[in-house]
Amino acid sequence: MELFAFGLTYAISAFSAAISVGVIGAAALNAAGRNPEKINDYRTMMVLAIAFADALAIIGLVAAIIGNVMA
């Protein structure tokens, strides 16, 4: 049961990070399609937003490891 909780803790955070990266990418492509001259600005904002979304997945992994050690 402890391993299931570990896997579920990380799986939920990784799944939500993957969904958010997809939404960020779709929004950036939509914005680039509307205004192609600003593609460098969109790319910078997209990379920063993806880094924040992946940081949440890393925090979920750390929480899962701490929860597994404490149990």
The per-residue pLDDT for range 18-45, each reduced to its tens digit, is: 999 999 999 999 999 999 999 999 999 9
With CA atoms as reference, report the closest residue to 67 among 16, 18, 12, 8.
8
Q: Is 64 exposed, middle or buried (0-12, 13-18, 19+ CB in 10 A)?
A: buried
The gap between the terminal CA atoms of the chain, to the nearest Å, is 10
pLDDT for 3 beyond 90: no
Of residues 62 and 2, more confidently modeled? 62
pLDDT for 71 beyond 90: no
- Looking at residue 35, what is its pLDDT? 95
CATH architecture classification, 2-70 = Up-down Bundle (1.20)
Assign 52 a pLDDT band (cuts: 50, 70, 90). very high
